[in-house]
């Protein structure tokens, strides 16, 4: 009986040893697979999302309704479409006021979308949002808020590498209405704008 107990105990210890060895091997393999999968997934996801974001700085002018525009734009690009946001400072030039011909104009803050085509060498976009008056007029006070609508029929884009892209908007339509009550204050501008885009 004693010898049988020792033999049974020895077999049990051997079985436990074999189980522990297999567990170490299996757990090590599983851990390696999990780490490898996480690394591949993280690298693939980060590169895909990083190439989708962009920011741009732009400057231009309108000749028909003399004004200037300085702004920043950014957003998320998904395939040929994009979800965008922009902040646009739009000083106005008033030739009838000799003492202060350059007015602060308006601040436009908007959201919009874009569509890129011809191998991303062209794009069309639209923006809408609030337009805030930045100076007092004879009828309106500073801070009065209306709306603006930007229609960018076509933009021409030239990639300068993997990160930087030059963009030219030859003729875009901008309806700026910072005052809606009383006598509306309306500025219809046909702008010509140059921009530089950076992929993030």
Rounded to the nearest 5 percent, the helix, strand and coil shares of the chain are 25, 55, 20
Average of per-residue pLDDT values in the chain: 81
**Residue with the larger pLDDT of the pair 38 and 154:** 154
Residue 77's pLDDT band, with cuts at 50, 70 and 90, is very high
Q: What is the pLDDT of residues 11-22, one digit of tens each?
A: 444 544 544 554
Neighbours of 134 (CB within 10 A): 18
Indicate the class that CATH gives domain 53-199. mainly beta
**Residue with the larger pLDDT of the pair 152 and 12:** 152
DSSP for 161-186 reads SSSEEEEEEEEEEEEEEEE-SSS-EE
Highest mean pLDDT among 101-105, 138-142, 176-180: 176-180
Q: What is the pLDDT of residues 164-197, one digit of tens each?
A: 999 999 989 999 999 999 999 999 999 999 999 9
* Average pLDDT for 102-111: 96
Question: What is the pLDDT, as a whole number, of residue 192?
Answer: 96
Q: What is the pLDDT of residues 25-52, one digit of tens each?
A: 544 554 454 444 434 334 443 433 435 8
d(CA 80, CA 9): 70
Highest mean pLDDT among 13-22, 77-86, 95-104: 77-86
Domain boundaries defined on the chain:
1-50, 53-199
Question: What is the pLDDT, as a whole number, of residue 8?
Answer: 40
């Amino acid at each position: 009986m004693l010898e049988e107990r020792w033999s049974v105990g020895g077999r049990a210890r051997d079985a436990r040893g074999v189980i522990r060895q297999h567990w170490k091997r299996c757990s090590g393999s599983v851990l390696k697979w999990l780490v490898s999968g996480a690394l591949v997934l993280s690298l693939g996801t980060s590169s895909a999302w990083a190439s989708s974001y962009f920011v741009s700085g732009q400057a231009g002018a309108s000749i028909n309704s003399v004004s200037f525009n300085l702004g920043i734009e950014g957003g998320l690009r998904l395939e040929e479409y994009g979800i965008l946001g922009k902040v646009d400072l739009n000083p106005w030039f008033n030739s009838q006021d000799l003492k202060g011909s350059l007015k602060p104009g308006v601040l436009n803050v908007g959201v919009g979308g874009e569509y890129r085509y011809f191998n991303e060498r062209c794009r069309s976009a639209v923006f809408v949002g609030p337009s805030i008056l930045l100076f007092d007029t004879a009828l309106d006070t500073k801070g009065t808020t209306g709306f603006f609508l930007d229609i960018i029929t076509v933009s021409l884009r030239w990639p300068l590498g993997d990160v930087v892209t030059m963009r030219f908007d030859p003729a875009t339509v901008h309806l700026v209405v910072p005052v809606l009550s009383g006598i509306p204050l309306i500025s219809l501008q046909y702008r010509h704008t140059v921009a530089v885009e950076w992929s993030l």
